[in-house]
Amino acid sequence: MEKSVPMNDWKAMKAQRAINRVHLFIHGAALAALFYYRITTIATTTSSSTHFVAHLVIFTAELTLSFIWLLSQASLWNPVARTVYPERLPSDDDLPSLDVFICTADPVKEPSLGVMNTVISALALDYPPTKLHLYLSDDGGSPVTLRALQQARSFAKVWLPFCRKYKLKNRCPQPYFLGEEIIGLEEGRVGDSDSDSDSDHSFVDKKAIEEAYEDFKISLGKIVIEEDVGASRDHSSTIEVMSDDEEFPLVVYVAREKRPSHPHNFKAGALNVLLRVSGMMSNSPYILSLDCDMYCNDPTSARQAMCFHLDPKLSQNLAFVQFPQIFHNIRRNHDIYDGAMRFIWTKWDGLNGLRGPVLSGTGFYIKREALYGIRKLQPNVDLNQLKEYYGSSNEFIKSIYRSYKTNFPSTDESLQKEVQLLASYSYDKGFNLHCEGWISVYFAPSRPCFLGSSPISLSETLVQNMRWFLGLSQVALSKYSPLVYGAMRMSVLQSIAYAELACYPIYFLPVYILAFLPQLCLLAGLPLYPQACLLLALFVSSPFFAVFVFVLISSQLKQAQEVMASGDSLRTWVNEHRVWVMKSLTSYSFAVANAILEKMGLAKASFVPTSKVTDGEVDKLYQMGKYDFQAPPAFMVILCSIYMINLGALVIGFGRVLVNGKINEMAMQAFLPLFGVILHYPLMEGMVLRKDGGRVSPSVSLLSALVSSLLLSAYALLSQY
Ligand SMILES: O=c1ccn([C@@H]2O[C@H](COP(=O)(O)OP(=O)(O)O[C@H]3O[C@H](CO)[C@@H](O)[C@H](O)[C@H]3O)[C@@H](O)[C@H]2O)c(=O)[nH]1
Ligand SMILES: [Mn+2]
């Protein structure tokens, strides 16, 4: 074979890598000094048993924080950035075919207009149309979605030629029409188009296409009125193949069978069904998986992904190419719910330098073989063994072989029945997504390939995070725990990086401890930190005070540096911090508790899809940068009580310390509640000052006042022993 030019390239992010490593050693040394202080203090604390226990508990918090910090170093060790050269791809005739999977679950929470925009944007991918096949999974089994899909397909038949003619870069109709004043037709082009830029023509065309889109929207509105909206949990499977046009991508609607008595495994179950159904129809070697709200913002994503998948050096072991999840409805630098989740994607850069990131659930191009959990089937493999794994459909098993030629759509009734059967639950034997030896690639081009919608209320944010971290806690508690299972099968750094994700929710423990204990001990007059001499230089009284201050500052500076490196302002650092504390106290702790209960058989999995409906009031608050505190009362009482405790400790404790003159001993302990009270000031505002619909409900404030005064008086008990 002749020597080919590479289609992709990577380079180490050297500056960031250097900063990360220097931080690792300096911060690590400071932590060692901190541990030395704790251990020696605990060993010599004889004053009271309460004091001894308090030291132990605070040490537990410090150990946990340091443990997660240590795990996080794996994904910071070697961050890598990638580039692609799509112009070096083989010609269209030689590109592999591609199946697009889109999942939707509920026409009320996920309105058809949004879902269909995603569908249309995917149909408009810059890829040979005969090699593109789109499967929409409707877990709601709703006629609304089926009929909307038919309408979307009709609209796409005029939309696609329009996109191609004007080489549009933004091929999702809704944002295209909304953004017309801002980006205009000219800037929305793919590449440097010189032909067909006759503005008169484009104007005429544009009017026509706008009208077609309006008609499409009206038709969706009619469907909602005519049909019964609402997701069903009890229906047989429906499959509708739309393929009357050779030059247009195949579109297939799939509603799998659902019965209340049978676990349907949510989105994973839906993807499994799509995998089987598509295996019989188009059987493309590559699959793009999208959530219903994740539209294609760059039509070239498929070609970008192929730059990795078709690279002879990577291809054999490469399972998937993951793009970041980026959201169109987030206000940059005013992201009060930290929807951007920079802390995740920064890690993905690092995983890129190991053997690649985990699947994030949407926006990835995966190799079909990898989803089957097999490496190239041997022709002589035992058929019964395969049936055990993949279910008993002979036709489907045949499809697993690379050489399988689909003859779909066909009029052959038996084949049609077979497909119908594949969407019924009798085949719910899970495909194992865990693939050994596969690698993956994370690719974050400057123009986001996919844009989704992020929750913009506290309630949705906390509930969504609870769901995610419940999943992660379950992994941590399962036999696939990365620290045990992974450590034996992956490189050390890779398994540590995965372990960090799985362990992430245990942040709840140190956050709870630090939100209570130093405060209560401040009231009880029990010092937990080394003495400070605030008037003189820090080192005069206790060198360990300087150690604590250093650890605090160094961790904060590191985060600030990362925030700024990703182009955000310090406001983002504040938001990230605040949301992290709120999530730790609610989402993470509930997630861990649920995972443990489930493990003991006391709780059951559930999935409430996040709402993609824009609520006027909620949106208004978000645009003004105000939190929407109408969250589950259990969450709000926790947050408000802790706020009040910190406020109380600050006021009472500070007063007493000043009177007793113990300010040096208590400096750190007074600083913690001070920091908390300032950082979470919006909560105070929500309880006391705000009158709008997003304020903290008075009943929540009242209950929190009660809870916090009870807990505050506990300090009196503490000081008795
Ligand atoms: O029973 C279900 C439940 C959900 N979905 C679909 O799954 C997708 C994700 O659901 P969503 O409510 O949007 O959850 P998010 O928290 O926003 O999604 C994130 O978290 C999920 C795991 O909790 C991942 O699967 C997603 O890819 C990831 O974007 C949506 O398209 C849903 O329609 C189903 O198909 N069947
Ligand atoms: Mn979502």
Name the pLDDT band for 9 (thresholds 50, 70, 90). very high
pLDDT at position 574: 95
CB atoms within 10 A of CB 125: 24
- From the list 665, 583, 598, the residue with the least C-alpha distance to 631 is 583
Calpha distance 407→387 (Å, rounded)? 22
From the CA of 529, how far away is ligand 2's center (Å)? Answer: 43
Give 413-453 pLDDT, tens digit per residue: 666 666 666 666 544 334 333 345 788 999 999 999 999 99
CB distance 607 to ligand 1 below 6 Å: yes
Name the pLDDT band for 383 (thresholds 50, 70, 90). low
Torsion sign over Cα 541, 547, 553, 554: positive
Here the tokens at position 222 are 């009619």
- From the list 143, 153, 192, 148, the residue with the least C-alpha distance to 169 is 192
* 521 or 180, higher pLDDT: 521
- Compute the mean pLDDT over every residue in the chain, rounded to the nearest whole number: 86
pLDDT at position 424: 60
Name the pLDDT band for 385 (thresholds 50, 70, 90). low
CB distance 140 to ligand 1 below 6 Å: no
CB distance 344 to ligand 1 below 6 Å: no
- Put residue 378 in one of left, alpha, beta given phi > 0 → left and psi -120 to 50 → alpha: beta
Query: Which residue among 103, 137, 364, 453 has the greatest number of ligand 1 atoms within 8 angstroms of its CB, and so is best to mutate?
Result: 103
CB distance 453 to ligand 1 below 6 Å: no
pLDDT at position 186: 36
Question: Once rounded to an integer, what is the mean pLDDT over residues 685-701?
Answer: 95
Angle (deg, nearest 10), helices 570-583 and 543-565: 110
pLDDT at position 180: 44
CB distance 609 to ligand 1 below 6 Å: yes
Helices (H), 166-286: 173-178, 180-187, 199-226, 266-281
Backbone angles phi, psi at 110, to 5 degrees: -125, 80
Kindly tell me if the per-residue pLDDT of 188 is higher than 60. Answer: no
Here the tokens at position 168 are 């549009």
From the CA of 631, how far away is ligand 2's center (Å)? Answer: 18
Kindly tell me if the per-residue pLDDT of 537 is higher than 70. Answer: no
pLDDT at position 631: 93
Strands 98-104 and 80-84: unpaired
* 501 or 326, higher pLDDT: 326
Question: Once rounded to an integer, what is the mean pLDDT over residues 321-349?
Answer: 92
Q: How far is CA 288 from CA 303, 321, 437, 580, in A?
A: 12, 9, 21, 31
Backbone angles phi, psi at 450, to 5 degrees: -135, 145
Calpha distance 490→594 (Å, rounded)? 29
- From the list 558, 481, 592, the residue with the least C-alpha distance to 73 is 558
Kindly tell me if the per-residue pLDDT of 488 is higher than 70. Answer: no
Give 645-654 pLDDT, tens digit per residue: 999 999 988 8
Calpha distance 44→39 (Å, rounded)? 9
Name the pLDDT band for 293 (thresholds 50, 70, 90). very high
pLDDT at position 30: 97
Specify whether the CB–CB gap between 292 and 107 falls below 8 A.
no
Residue of the CA atom closest to atom 26 of ligand 1: 361
Kindly tell me if the per-residue pLDDT of 182 is higher than 60. Answer: no
Torsion sign over Cα 406, 408, 413, 416: positive
- Residue numbers in the known binding site are 109-110, 139, 267, 291
Strand partners, 367: 286
Q: How far is CA 590 from CA 462, 619, 627, in A?
A: 10, 27, 21
- Residue numbers in the known binding site for Mn(2+) are 267, 291
Residue of the CA atom closest to atom 15 of ligand 1: 610
**Residues 356, 560, 447, CA angle at the centre, nearest 5°?**
50
CB distance 266 to ligand 1 below 6 Å: yes
Strand partners, 226: none
pTM of the model: 0.90
Which helix (H) or strand (E) is 165 found in, with range? helix 143-165
Atom of ligand 1 nearest to the CA of 363: 27
Residue with tokens 């112009």: 87
Give 204-221 pLDDT, tens digit per residue: 788 899 999 999 999 999
Strands 450-452 and 295-296: antiparallel
pLDDT at position 436: 56
Give 35-53 pLDDT, tens digit per residue: 999 999 988 877 778 888 9
Q: How far is CA 533 from CA 527, 544, 635, in A?
A: 14, 11, 39
Q: How far is CA 616 from CA 457, 640, 693, in A?
A: 12, 26, 12
- Residue numbers in the known binding site for UDP-alpha-D-glucose are 109-110, 139
Q: Residues with Cβ < 8 Å from 175, sequence gap 6 or more?
A: 117, 295, 297, 328, 451
Give all domains of the chain, ordered by start, each with its CATH number: 94-326+357-378+407-442 (3.90.550)
pLDDT at position 193: 38
Specify whether the CB–CB gap between 57 and 513 falls below 8 A.
yes
- From the list 361, 537, 526, 374, the residue with the least C-alpha distance to 452 is 361
Atom of ligand 1 nearest to the CA of 361: 27
CB distance 467 to ligand 1 below 6 Å: yes
Which helix (H) or strand (E) is 583 found in, with range? helix 570-583
CB distance 292 to ligand 1 below 6 Å: yes
Calpha distance 636→639 (Å, rounded)? 5
pLDDT at position 435: 40
Specify whether the CB–CB gap between 6 and 85 falls below 8 A.
yes
pLDDT at position 433: 39
Here the tokens at position 348 are 């993905």
| Residue type at position 47 | S
Question: Once rounded to an integer, what is the mean pLDDT over residues 387-399?
Answer: 68
Q: How far is CA 541 from CA 482, 533, 549, 661, in A?
A: 44, 6, 14, 16
From the CA of 277, how far away is ligand 1's center (Å)? Answer: 20
Specify whether the CB–CB gap between 476 and 503 falls below 8 A.
yes
Backbone angles phi, psi at 613, to 5 degrees: -90, 135
pLDDT at position 694: 94
Which residues lie at CB < 5 A from ion ligand 2?
291
Here the tokens at position 645 are 């405790």
Q: How far is CA 441 from the centre of its chain?
A: 17
CB distance 104 to ligand 1 below 6 Å: yes
Residue of the CA atom closest to atom 12 of ligand 1: 609
Question: Worst-scoring range by mean pLDDT, 114-118, 132-136, 177-181, 656-660?
Answer: 177-181
Specify whether the CB–CB gap between 589 and 508 falls below 8 A.
yes
Question: Once rounded to an integer, what is the mean pLDDT over residues 8-33?
Answer: 96
CB distance 255 to ligand 1 below 6 Å: no
**Closest ligand to 609 CA?**
1
Name the pLDDT band for 573 (thresholds 50, 70, 90). very high
Question: Worst-scoring range by mean pLDDT, 171-185, 573-587, 654-668, 697-711?
Answer: 171-185
Here the tokens at position 5 are 């030019």
